[in-house]
A and B are shown apart, each in its own frame.
Chain A
């Protein structure tokens, strides 16, 4: 399909956009592709959310009421795969598409046809992945981590899952390449690296992480595939392989992957907090260095996901110390955000509310992360609900809240209309309360000894599970407000000015609202860049 793209929509042609389905299928425009990414992510968010609600419904009370344990295991595995590769990552790529060209003074992404391809791979990948729900043997049920030998016990879903992961990986790699080329080659004259907004910086580092580790995941799952079908024994002890090696390779990908999901969130928060504090970001350069430090450290901490596999003392100590070290640059970021608010002039519009919730709740996730780094204590926490609570605190009020905050921040720029801020505040309060009702009790459950990934539990865990499930349903249904608010805004929002928030800085706010189809046809002048770059 991409080969036809140039005949219909060469991206630097004149301003008329193609109409109908061709506009979307053959699109090479960064905004249209960004929109498609975001719509796709939102759809997958509700698919993955439905799976989460199936899980929480089953866990509402002890005993098995609704689903078979095998299907329950499929739900936990699929929920993770859909949320990580279908919701969070595409949402970030969508935001990158929308924002990076506008923020660096470029007309579009550097490689528009590649951009089209990288998006259109995704629906096929997820048709394959979700298709596994309907094949004999059911969907993958060995966890999203796919540890062999368990993962190899899957039925027909196995090659479909592997191929889907290959496609998702290819899509994110192409997206990442596009981001790097755009940032490196397409910046307006005068927009040097240390003038770039932090969202661009964090995405640049994220993109490098993606290029470095997604292929490693592709390699690992390829080895699983050949172990299953072609008689190799990379991970089969019977043939001289080692199942633990898979875990090492997987987490060599998996840990940077965690930062791939959270670094752009740091970027978004670094844009929102200064705007609503009416004050430039505190310590811009140290933010950039802290991001780079986190990116680097993410490569040397992978084994903290597997302290219980039996490692020698030296290994445990090394991975413990390296992991603890990550809290230093992360702490620098938190302190810088606090310092940005200090002596500011704060208002609390919806994007700011989400950014503040991020600040509080991500910090809680950081604390539990620090606790998990302590190896002896990790022998208790590992594979318990404490871990579930930890990574959901980092991913939901972390990544997800940042994504929602970003949407509420830039939506007026995208559509040229202001959304219903009152309703968005209702959305915020419901989300912020229920997310804690949902995940905070899971800390207690894990500490008290409830393992993760179980469909049924002993009766002493019943009370907190019920609270958690109530939180889950509250949280899940409140999210329906998001698409409603967006649709209402697109249809009937009041017109928004070019600078939708009075103190917003950055080149995107120098463009009219809604942003023109091609962003900066002529590069912004030095004066405009200087005005925009007051971080």
Chain B
């Protein structure tokens, strides 16, 4: 049923679009209907949970909407239906439709709790990166090293997103989802993020990683992810908590590299920092 709704929605929108002769976009988003499965251990579990609840809802929906439609079709006055005014109460029925939902809830809650416990298990992380949010950029600090840098909206997107910029966003590669310096992490490694903020609350979210975490000034939150070893590549996300004027313009890009590539990258970064550092290293002052 949902499929049909989606399909008819798509068809309707396609017709509307054709009518409006809207400019064709470089990449169409019609296929974007569901949560990404993601590339981490947890994102797949979360996706599985999401689909499980979704199908439960579809099943309940079939029963409830089926009942409503049946009632609307079968008991029309115009078809000669006569009301049974004595039918006002049934303790048995009411107990049944209290207990069955409770049973379904238990069936949903148990696997949810299991995934939650997995999420909370932050043992054996190999790399800690501190993520600090600013209005409106991210800073990544590789703890235990002097490697730290800011990550801001890429220049091309930044010019195109000005009010009436005259630049067609469709011509900008990865419009609003591109940064100057992406976060770099190794694949197949349990990476821990310490998320905090300097000014207001932000939220670090990469949908492919399955999770977001609020960045709160004065508090340090932790989250972790482990990208599958074969899922190297570039993943994109955005700040998810309203943080002021440019909330929509502080994207997150993560480069997931193989372990070797990552080590080489980090070594190069460390060397660059050493070279640049005339003054003694100050991990907390902003380089």
| A345 lies within 8 A of B75 (CB) | yes
User: What residues on A are CB-neighbors of B9 within 8 Å?
Assistant: 437, 440-441, 467
The distance in angstroms between the C-alpha atoms of A457 and B27, with both chains bound, is: 13
Of B36, B117, B218, which contacts A313 at CB under 8 A?
Answer: B117
- B279 CB–A CB distance under 8 Å: no
Of B57, B83, B237, B247, which contacts A277 at CB under 8 A?
Answer: B83
Given the interface contacts A150-B243, A451-B239, does A325 sit within 8 Å of B119 by beta carbon? Answer: no
Of A62, A70, A317, A455, which contacts B169 at CB under 8 A?
Answer: A62
- In the complex, residue of chain B having the shortest beta-carbon distance to the beta carbon of A375: B116
Given the interface contacts A63-B160, A379-B212, does A460 sit within 8 Å of B32 by beta carbon? Answer: yes
- B246 CB–A CB distance under 8 Å: yes
User: What residues on B are CB-neighbors of A455 within 8 Å?
Assistant: 248
Total of A-B residue pairs, C-beta within 8 Å:
322
The distance in angstroms between the C-alpha atoms of A457 and B219, with both chains bound, is: 29
- In the complex, residue of chain A having the shortest beta-carbon distance to the beta carbon of B100: A331
Interface residues of B in 5-29 (CB under 8 A from A): 5-6, 9, 12-13, 16-17, 22, 25-29
Interface residues of A in 390-444 (CB under 8 A from B): 437, 440-441, 444
Chain B: interface residue total (CB-CB under 8 A) = 108
Of B57, B87, B203, which contacts A370 at CB under 8 A?
Answer: B57
User: What residues on A are CB-neighbors of B201 within 8 Å?
Assistant: 147, 149-150, 243
| A449 lies within 8 A of B87 (CB) | no
Given the interface contacts A278-B77, A334-B64, A455-B248, does A449 sit within 8 Å of B57 by beta carbon? Answer: no
Among A13-21, A160-168, A214-222, A359-367, the stretch in contact with B: A359-367
Interface residues of A in 119-166 (CB under 8 A from B): 141-143, 147, 149-150, 153
- B120 CB–A CB distance under 8 Å: yes
Of B93, B175, B237, which contacts A339 at CB under 8 A?
Answer: B93
User: What residues on B are CB-neighbors of A334 within 8 Å?
Assistant: 64
- A498 CB–B CB distance under 8 Å: no
Among B106-114, B124-132, B143-151, B267-275, the stretch in contact with A: B106-114
- In the complex, residue of chain A having the shortest beta-carbon distance to the beta carbon of B56: A370
A179 CB to closest chain B CB, in angstroms? 27
The distance in angstroms between the C-alpha atoms of A286 and B93, with both chains bound, is: 11
| A320 lies within 8 A of B112 (CB) | yes
| A356 lies within 8 A of B83 (CB) | no
Among B66-74, B182-190, B226-234, B256-264, the stretch in contact with A: B66-74
| B216 lies within 8 A of A341 (CB) | no
The distance in angstroms between the C-alpha atoms of A283 and B89, with both chains bound, is: 5
The distance in angstroms between the C-alpha atoms of A64 and B159, with both chains bound, is: 11
A473 CB to closest chain B CB, in angstroms? 11
Chain A: interface residue total (CB-CB under 8 A) = 101
User: What residues on B are CB-neighbors of A310 within 8 Å?
Assistant: 213-214, 216, 219, 221-222
- In the complex, residue of chain B having the shortest beta-carbon distance to the beta carbon of A450: B238
The distance in angstroms between the C-alpha atoms of A278 and B139, with both chains bound, is: 65
| B29 lies within 8 A of A464 (CB) | yes
The distance in angstroms between the C-alpha atoms of A290 and B219, with both chains bound, is: 40
| B242 lies within 8 A of A142 (CB) | yes
B20 CB to closest chain A CB, in angstroms? 8
Given the interface contacts A327-B101, A331-B101, does A345 sit within 8 Å of B81 by beta carbon? Answer: yes
A425 CB to closest chain B CB, in angstroms? 15
A292 CB to closest chain B CB, in angstroms? 14
- B85 CB–A CB distance under 8 Å: yes
Of A64, A141, A335, A364, which contacts B97 at CB under 8 A?
Answer: A335
| B85 lies within 8 A of A279 (CB) | yes
User: What residues on A are CB-neighbors of B28 within 8 Å?
Assistant: 460, 463
Q: Mark A289-312, 1 if CB is under 8 A from B, else 0.
A: 000000000000000001011100
Given the interface contacts A320-B112, A451-B205, does A467 sit within 8 Å of B46 by beta carbon? Answer: no
User: What residues on A are CB-neighbors of B203 within 8 Å?
Assistant: 308, 382-383
| B247 lies within 8 A of A73 (CB) | yes
- A321 CB–B CB distance under 8 Å: yes
| B247 lies within 8 A of A453 (CB) | yes
Q: Mark A459-484, 1 if CB is under 8 A from B, else 0.
A: 11111101100100000000000000
- The list of the 8 closest CB pairs from A to B, nearest first, reads A237-B218, A454-B248, A448-B32, A341-B71, A449-B207, A310-B221, A278-B83, A62-B169
Told that A237-B219, A331-B101 touch, could you supply 9 new A-B pairs with CB distance under 8 A?
Answer: A64-B165, A243-B201, A279-B87, A324-B108, A347-B78, A374-B108, A374-B112, A451-B247, A453-B248
| 20 pairs from A and B in contact (CB 8 Å cutoff) | A63-B169, A142-B242, A143-B242, A149-B201, A281-B88, A282-B90, A285-B89, A286-B94, A308-B240, A338-B71, A374-B53, A376-B46, A453-B248, A456-B161, A456-B176, A458-B177, A460-B28, A460-B32, A462-B25, A467-B13
